[in-house]
Amino acid sequence: MATTAQYGTWPSPIDAALAASHDGRPEYLGTVGDEVWWTAPRPAEGGRRALVRRRPDGTEESVLPAPWNVRSRVIEYGGLPWAGTPRESGGPLVVFVHFPDQRLYAYEPDGGGEPRPLTPLSSVGGGLRFADLRVERERGEVWCVMEEFTGEAPTDVRRVIVAVPLDGSAADDRGALRELSDGRHRFVTGPQRSPDGRRVAWIAWDHPRMPWDGTEVVLAEVPADGGPFTGATTVLGGPDEAVSQIAWAEDGALLYASDPGGWWELRRVAADGLTDARARSTALLPARQEEFAGPLWRVGMQWFLPLPGGRIATIHGTGTNALGVLDPASGTLTDIEGPWNEWASTLAAHGTTVVGLAASARTSYEIVEVDTATGTARVIGSAHRDAVDPAYVSAGEERVFTGPGGREIHAHVHPPHHPDFTGPDGELPPYVIWVHGGPTSRTPLVLDLEVAYFTTRGIGVAEVNYGGSTGYGRQYRERLREQWGVVDVEDCAAVALALAAEGSADRTKLAVRGGSAGGWTTAASLTSKSARDVWACGAISYPILDLGGWATDETHDFESQYLESLIGPYAEVPERYRDRSPIHLVENITAPFLLLQGLDDVICPPAQCDRFLAAVAGRGVPHAYLSFEGEGHGFRRKDTMVRCLEAELSLYAQTFGFERGDVPHLELAP
């Protein structure tokens, strides 16, 4: 028999330390010979990213000890930070980006030496940064994207494709880094070399477009003398077509994922049609209303991978992601069977064996190997292990709610769940609406111990993929065009009120929380005259609070003109920037709130929090502000995440009227 206890007071086997220790997931899969490599989070080691290798015998080991941190800061969100190559003797050679100084290093993990720098430091602005690496061993080089600051402002920056000598001759000499592209575009991805080695292609775009608005595919020739690329020409894409990935098939055809029909689809241009690529492009699976790619938030993301023999491994779906194998000759797409409902945008292969990263509502992200000849799949790395009895996990349910004007709103609902406790008859649980970042992003339905941290205590969670989210076609994500702070706020409120109306949630105990763009939506929800009465409290993490500041000089280059589409052209509608900014609407706040901020955040800087708190001061609204040295945009350190989770729970306890003796009391100052 279940014990009856007030919602929010249930005992839980998941404390904040356990949830924090499982935060993050593997990233950037690759193969080095017959080994599989990836980066992995280490929250307990200062939040560093470790480089992990899986040997053929199945053993896993960290390639580099602490404090080596394999992570790039290109466009601040980063990109593929490592590349490796096998050698005939002496073991593999790996090149990687070290986060603290952003230099490239070469390392021979089986050679017993130390990593040696390949690129120089720069004292200008944010220095030199690198991402999307490819080892060109026969040339003795690494080809990659270089981001170079030319001044102190975050927008004083240029990006080009460069060749970095493997012999270390550029370690102290910027002039030894050979520029391969001409710098005509503001943003570029790393070059993809054709099978015959004579051509390269890459993706490029310029302000004010974001890469999910419109990008171009640039094709160029590789000179035999090793000089810069020649004849660079835009062959695909455009202002209203977002190419997210390109790759070469073994027959010389160029494969790419783009959305000319409103959904990201796989397309192909034959090798003999590249000079007239737009006219010669064909869809491999026409008229399928699902996504075969996603938003290019980081340089080097992968949704598909050409295989020997012409087949293509591809991630696809609507709202969820499956991994399938496409046979272009027959037009058949065969999905890989297994317990996973979400495949991340990273793939690798050796021969016809594909390696991906997959999770489910019951399992964390695992490294999965797929034999495409037989369709069989097995976990080979980062295997999920139940941190708690699965009986405590609220698996969640995919649901579609109705918003203003009858529009659909996608969400995942996680009711309170505990095998030994239930709420009192006649009492409804509190619910917290989780708002993802981006906002051009999506929350997948996968195991998250932070969700379980609350649901096991009797607090429901609903993750809202509001209008503007990806995974549901271009029309759905463009609902947010010039409507940020309106559509997202309305959709989150609509889901909360629908849960209350159907009897799933207590109407008086609704909270909203989010980070980054989700922090913006949370703050906008609490300051919106139309939505503020929905919420009893809110938890705001590393948010945007002042659109005017963010549109001018208070963010990084990549998103510095993002608001041109989310809000409107600043030069034309400056009043809209003021009218929607939480910092100018503090008189509307009545609900208690918690504000969390990393002091090293260059994307959403702490200065905005300082101004917001100054405006709130003296208004009698209970609130708390926690800031963290050494944390940037998105918290990575275990102790930080523990403090944040415990503070958030204390906020809910005080607001919803229940006692929690297992977390420190959060002081809420008026």
Q: How many CB atoms lie within 10 A of CB 120?
A: 17
Q: 335 with 476, same domain? A: no
Q: What percent of the chain has pLDDT over 90?
A: 97
Angle subtended at Cα 438 by Cα 437 and Cα 443, rounded to the nearest 5 degrees = 60
Would 283 be classed as within a structural domain?
yes
Q: What is the pLDDT of residues 82-92, one digit of tens each?
A: 999 999 888 99
What are the structure tokens assigned to 597, written together? 């901020």
DSSP string of 387-450?
Answer: SS-GGG----EEEEEE-GGG-EEEEEEE----TTEEPPTT----EEEEE-SSSS--------HH
Would 232 be classed as within a structural domain?
yes
pTM (whole model) above 0.75: yes
Q: 288 with 371, same domain? A: no
Provide the number of structural domains found in the chain: 3
Q: Which CATH number fits the domain that encloses residue 589?
A: 3.40.50.1820
CA of residue 265 relative to chain centroid, distance: 20
Q: What is the pLDDT of residues 299-315, one digit of tens each?
A: 999 999 999 999 999 99
Q: 425 with 367, same domain? A: no
For residue 359, the model assigns a pLDDT of: 97
Q: What is the pLDDT of residues 625-648, one digit of tens each?
A: 999 999 999 999 999 999 999 999
Would 262 be classed as within a structural domain?
yes
More confident residue, 112 or 347: 347
Q: 323 with 419, same domain? A: no
Q: 282 with 366, same domain? A: no
For residue 225, the model assigns a pLDDT of: 86
For residue 357, the model assigns a pLDDT of: 98
Residue 142: beta bridge partners? 135, 164
Would 313 be classed as within a structural domain?
no
Q: 382 with 392, same domain? A: no
Would 378 be classed as within a structural domain?
yes
Q: 229 with 250, same domain? A: yes
Would 226 be classed as within a structural domain?
yes
Q: 577 with 599, same domain? A: yes
Residue 641, CA distances (Å) to 26, 450, 628 in order: 18, 10, 10
Rounded Cα–Cα distance for residues 377 and 353 (Å): 10
In 3D space, the residue among 194, 345, 178 whose CA is nearest the CA of residue 257 turns out to be 345
Report the run of H or E that residue 17 belongs to, with start and end. helix 16-21
Rounded Cα–Cα distance for residues 356 and 359 (Å): 10
For residue 1, the model assigns a pLDDT of: 82
Q: 552 with 585, same domain? A: yes
Q: What is the pLDDT of residues 507-566, one digit of tens each?
A: 999 999 999 999 999 999 999 999 999 999 999 999 999 999 999 989 999 999 999 999
Q: 369 with 412, same domain? A: no
128, 150 contact by CB (below 8 A): no
Q: 374 with 485, same domain? A: no
Residue 614: CB partners within 8 Å, gap ≥ 6? none
154, 201 contact by CB (below 8 A): no
What are the structure tokens assigned to 165, written together? 């000598």
For residue 111, pLDDT beyond 90: no
For residue 112, pLDDT beyond 90: no
Rounded Cα–Cα distance for residues 250 and 608 (Å): 50
Would 608 be classed as within a structural domain?
yes
Residue 639: CB partners within 8 Å, gap ≥ 6? 20
The residue segments making up the domain with residue 382 are 318-340+349-386
452, 19 contact by CB (below 8 A): yes
Q: What is the pLDDT of residues 224-274, one digit of tens each?
A: 888 899 999 999 999 999 999 999 999 999 999 999 999 999 999 999 999
Is the Cα dihedral 174, 180, 181, 182 positive or negative? Answer: positive
Per-residue confidence band for 287, with pLDDT thresholds at 50, 70 and 90: confident
Q: 364 with 471, same domain? A: no
